Amino acid sequence: MWKLFKILWLIPIVVFFATQKVAAQQDPGEALLEFPEETSAAEPTPQEFTDAIIAYQQKKYAVALSLWQMLAKADYGPALHNLGVAYEHGRGVRPDPAAAAAWYGRAAEHDIPQAFNNLGRLFARGLGVEQNYEKAFDFFEAAAEHEYAESQFNLGIAYLQGQGVDVDPEEASVWFAAAAEQGYRAAQFNLASLYLSGQGVQKDVAKAVHWFGQAATAGDGLAAFHLAMVYYQGQGIGKNLKTARRHLLQAAEAGVLLAQHQLAIMLAKGEGGAVDSESALTWFFIAAALGNEQAQQNRDLYAKSLPPEVRTRAAKRARSFSPVSSKP
């Protein structure tokens, strides 16, 4: 009889900058202004601006830059912002964060929230400018006045980590909630984490489950993993192994290593559903290949108990595994 090694369930408060947490679904730094109505700009949309957007989307960056540079001479705010995006990410030009900061600065004079946010991001990271959390905070705050979700999230990070402002978990929860209500996935995850721990808010497992669920539904594998942990342990809610197994599957398919190993254990033991030996071994293979030592030991122990044909199919499935991309 083989015996599985146990896995410890840990529930950390995990917080990320937007560009780290949600890079798989959106790259805030390369988010173009496609429609001037996304900003507070009152100018009519020039045809050249629309043509530049189309060219950029077709990766004809030189064409897009030429058109935006022409509009920049007329101080057209959305074009100024998009030139900042191009220079930051090296689209049609070499990456130049200092030039990007300059373009974002000119766009911010037009009260464009995306420009404020991008400036805040550059100052927070010290890209093209000297790192300055106080300035970053001010720019995030300016964008948040326009209810710009990413900046609301970044203000939450600032208050939680004391970047440019005193640490204030309660205020952090307010900003995470504002962004979460707009569907900002990283904010949903962090707000759920706060409710689960009681940091800055009264501990409320039901609200944690709600916000982890919102983020998981939007394709966040880490949120699905935390949700599974709550249901597996029955923390403040009824223990539900079937639901835990379902969320672990989502997390495992998204590439969350601990979820892959724990799902393998549940499948092998028949927790939350029928025993599925082939799938269990498949997930042991996948987790083991990513360096999980417990998974490596469990893979070897469990494989010995299965017929050769099952081991062969599981190994083949594991080799073809590719994490599911996050939803946009």
Q: pLDDT tens digits, residue range 211-220? A: 999 999 999 9
Mean pLDDT of 35-54: 75
Query: With bands split at pLDDT 50, 70 and 90, how would you rate the model's confidence at 59?
Result: very high
Asked whether residue 200 carries a pLDDT value surpassing 80, the answer given is yes
More confident residue, 40 or 112: 112
pLDDT of amino acid 320:
97
Candidates 212, 257, 216, 220; CA nearest to 236 is 212
pLDDT of amino acid 18:
35
pLDDT of amino acid 31:
85
Of 3-12, 31-40, 56-65, where does the model show the most confidence?
56-65
Query: With bands split at pLDDT 50, 70 and 90, how would you rate the model's confidence at 10?
Result: very low
Mean pLDDT of 161-187: 97
pLDDT of amino acid 287:
97
Contacts of residues 227-236 at CB distance under 8 Å and 24 or more positions apart, as own/partner, are 228/259, 228/262, 229/9, 229/11, 230/196, 230/205, 232/9, 232/262, 233/9, 235/196, 235/205, 236/205, 236/206
Asked whether residue 14 carries a pLDDT value surpassing 60, the answer given is no
CA distances from 139 to 117, 159, 185, 275, 328 (A): 6, 14, 21, 53, 26
Mean pLDDT of 140-153: 97
Mean pLDDT of 233-244: 92
Burial call 8-27: b when 16+ CB within 10 Å, e when fewer: eeeeeeebebbbebbebebe
Quote the mean pLDDT of the chain.
89
Mean pLDDT of 64-68: 97
Asked whether residue 49 carries a pLDDT value surpassing 70, the answer given is yes
Mean pLDDT of 293-315: 96
Query: With bands split at pLDDT 50, 70 and 90, how would you rate the model's confidence at 52?
Result: very high
CA distance 210 to 257: 23
CA distance 5 to 294: 6
At 202, is the secondary structure helix, strand, or coil? coil
The reply to whether the predicted model has a pTM over 0.75 is yes
Tokens 């090296």 found at: 90
User: What are the structure tokens assigned to 293, written together?
Assistant: 């030592």
